[in-house]
Amino acid sequence: MQPDTAHGHTTHDAEADARNEHILIYVDGALVPRDRAVVSVYDSGFMLGDGMWEGMRLYDGEWAFFDEHMDRLFNSLRAVSIDIGMGPAEIRGNLDRTAQANGMTGDAHCRLMITRGRKAKPFQHPALSRFGPTIVAIVEHSIPAQSLAQKGVRLATVPQVRGLPTSQDPKFNSHSKLNCVIACLQAEQAGADEALMLDPHGFVNTTNACNFFIVRRGQVWTSTGDHCMNGITRQKVIELCRADGIPVFEKNYSLYEAYGADEAFLTGTFGAQTPVAAIDGKPIGGDGGAGPVTRRIRQLYADLVAANVAEQKARRS
């Protein structure tokens, strides 16, 4: 039975948009109607979670922080020896084509997925992926649900950790998200929206789908970065704080400090900065929504996205 989530929301809830039922999806070079967009049951992504993905957002015809997303993606692909035979420019061309075919110039979110591809036999060895890679891009109309910014998300700490690079480096944006899915289930079954995951030493680390920040006594804290996704939004927030004179620290801290935070927020490409309303049932901040530092950072980030989009436009014209 699915848990009852009617009372809450997830960090990736978007406003309902019926147009998404009829989008065209990029599948290995073709634009295919959603109900016919499929990959093989022999695909390494389906069988093993053997693939990498990126989430990107479209603003005014440009994919925000495209270079940073491509840098992370190609680093990941290289680390697991997947050669896709195309570079960032060709990827951009395919994403642009998909967005244009769907009549999108903004308020759209892309999940670009690349797997090792179709296998000759249903077994694990990567050499069996003889017909790869598989490249899929789902681009949906997407506006984050208003309730996220208004009410914030409720987190629960969970037993599942995001661990050491020696098991599965948490920097891999891999198709296999089982580690995070287990964490999310634990949080949901504890009555929260999403999971707050610790690191192997018990320090506060990340959530199952976003990076995590607290604001304490005018300072912004986040984890060391050793055990979480190298989030692009996370990095931008750190850089924005530094540039704006907001003291920011990447450091070990425990739930003791998190429970006593004045504000807390999540970062990710989809929601930018999403306020945290509670951790383990303890309210954070005043009214569940964003506090003054989170609001300031949200504005700085929105300005940065606009500047990045303008810069990309200028470069391409």
Here the tokens at position 5 are: 């989530």
Residue with Cβ nearer ligand PLP (94 or 230): 230
The answer to whether residues 64 and 301 touch, using CB atoms and an 8 Å cutoff, is no
d(CA 133, CA 6): 38
Check residue 215 for interaction with ligand PLP (CB under 6 A). no
Number of residues that bind ligand PLP (CB under 6 A): 15
Nearer to ligand PLP, 129 or 274 (CB): 274
Q: Which is nearer to ligand PLP, 196 or 229 (CB)?
A: 229
CB of 240 to ligand PLP, least distance (A): 13
Asked whether position 211 contacts ligand PLP by CB under 6 A, the answer is yes
- Contact flag: residue 267 with ligand PLP (CB under 6 A): yes
Which residue in the block uniquely carries the two structure tokens 């035979």? 85
- Tell whether residue 137 is a contact of ligand PLP (CB under 6 A): no
Closest separation between CB of residue 287 and ligand PLP, Å? 26
If one asks whether residue 173 binds ligand PLP (CB under 6 A), the answer comes out as yes
**Binding mask of the shown chain, residues 222 to 261, with x at each position contacting ligand PLP by CB under 6 A:** -------x-xxxx---------------------------
What's the burial of 274, exposed, middle or buried (CB within 10 Å: 0-12/13-18/19+)?
A: buried
Could you give the CA distance from residue 193 to residue 148 in angstroms, rounded to a whole number?
11
- Radius of gyration for the chain, computed over Cα atoms and rounded to the nearest angstrom: 20
C-alpha closest to that of 188 among 209, 212, 202: 209
Give the separation between CA 308 and CA 183, rounded to whole angstroms: 34
Residues near 309 by Cβ (< 8 Å), separated by ≥ 6? 59, 60, 61, 62, 64
Per-residue DSSP letter, 18: G
Contact segment (CB under 6 A) with ligand PLP among 97-105, 209-217, 287-295, 306-314 equals 209-217
Q: Which is nearer to ligand PLP, 44 or 211 (CB)?
A: 211
State in angstroms the smallest separation of the CB of 120 from ligand PLP. 30
36 φψ region: left (φ > 0), alpha (ψ -120 to 50), beta (else): alpha
- Tell me: does residue 276 bind ligand PLP (CB under 6 A): no
User: Nearest distance from residue 65's CB to ligand PLP, in Å?
Assistant: 8
Q: Where does this chain bind ligand PLP (CB under 6 A)?
A: 55, 173, 180, 206, 209-211, 229, 231-234, 267-269
